[in-house]
Amino acid sequence: DIQMTQSPSSLSASVGDRVTLTCRASQTISSYLNWYQQKPGKAPKLLIYVASNLQSGVPSRFSGSGSGTDFTLTISSLQPEDFATYYCQQSYRTPRTFGQGTKVEIK
Amino acid sequence: QLQLQESGPGLVNPSETLSLTCSVSSGSINSRGYYWGWIRQPPGKGLEWIGGIYYSGSTYYNPSLKSRVTISIDTSKNHFSLRLSSVTAADTAVYYCVRDTRHSTYEAGGWFDPWGQGTPVTVSS
């Protein structure tokens, strides 16, 4: 299985901060990397697909980059509604696997 | 806007079979280009992909669960289902159904969108 490792596991940030989350795959996955946002008690929501494509309806302050094994999700200016847990997921090989998540908390 | 809704028992006895259904509305499950899948999340933990099914019936499963999992589809009712046999407490989780954009032929590619709201299932006697 392809292991996905996210860092940090959690972070504290303030409204307006620029935040960068990292996801690393245990082997190359080309650009087959997706990002999801999950708020407590809710289902995950797709933010970014194929590494850098913004899902329709997602604010432009979210962006994704990377290829191969290293990927990043950036929030350019953190908003109150962005406090959540973020998961990366590879779709290069079966089984599809997720990172363990990065929890973004209010400082 | 496509919507997915899970349904099924919230409590299952150990060693028995967990059965869930996902009803799809505002769209047809019988459309080319999409798989339909299941993902679960144990309490306080991360996400685990279970498997998916194409409208034609072709399936792909997580090898760690494959011996116990069956995903089926009923295009006449516009829903698909999950069966997980011989459950233990480790199968306690919120179960989500999803649309999976994986290509019907190529393994690589795809993402999960949208998601159902999730249904909690507890395995306990």
Residue A68 pLDDT more than 90? yes
- The reply to whether A44 touches chain B by the CB within 8 Å rule is yes
Query: Which residue out of A96, A97, A98 would a mutagenesis test of the B interface target, given it has the greatest number of B Cβ atoms within 10 Å?
Result: A96
- Name the minimum distance, in Å, from the CA of B47 to any CA of chain A: 6
Q: Does the N-terminal peptide bond of residue A59 adopt cis geometry, omega within 30 degrees of 0?
A: no
Q: Return the percentage of chain B with pLDDT > 90, whole number.
A: 89
* Bigger pLDDT: B56 vs A11: A11
Q: What is the pLDDT of residue A100?
A: 98
Q: How far apart, in whole angstroms, are the C-alpha atoms of residue A97 and residue A100?
A: 10
Q: What is the pLDDT of residues A17-61, one digit of tens each?
A: 999 999 999 999 999 999 999 999 999 999 999 999 999 999 999
The stretch B53-77 carries a mean pLDDT of 95
Contact A92 B46 (CB under 8 A): no
By Cβ distance, the residue of A55, A95, A100 closest to B49 is A95
Q: How confident is the model at residue B105 (pLDDT cuts 50, 70, 90)?
A: confident
> Could you tell me the sign of the dihedral formed by the alpha carbons of B29, A47, A42, A23, in that order?
positive
Contact A55 B64 (CB under 8 A): no
- Name the minimum distance, in Å, from the CA of A81 to any CA of chain B: 19
Residue B69 pLDDT more than 80? yes
Find chain B residues with C-beta within 8 A of A52's C-beta: none
Cα-only R_g, chain B: 14
Q: What is the pLDDT of residue A11?
A: 97
- Name the minimum distance, in Å, from the CA of A33 to any CA of chain B: 8
- Name the minimum distance, in Å, from the CA of B78 to any CA of chain A: 21
Torsion of CA B9, B64, A98, A90, to 10 degrees: -120
- The reply to whether A86 touches chain B by the CB within 8 Å rule is no
Q: What is the pLDDT of residues A90-106, one digit of tens each?
A: 999 999 999 999 999 98
Q: What is the pLDDT of residue B1?
A: 93
Contact call for residues A96 and B65 (beta carbons, < 8 A): no
CA nearest to B36, candidates B94, B104, B86, B122: B104
Q: What is the pLDDT of residue B30?
A: 87
Contact A46 B47 (CB under 8 A): no
Contact B47 A89 (CB under 8 A): yes
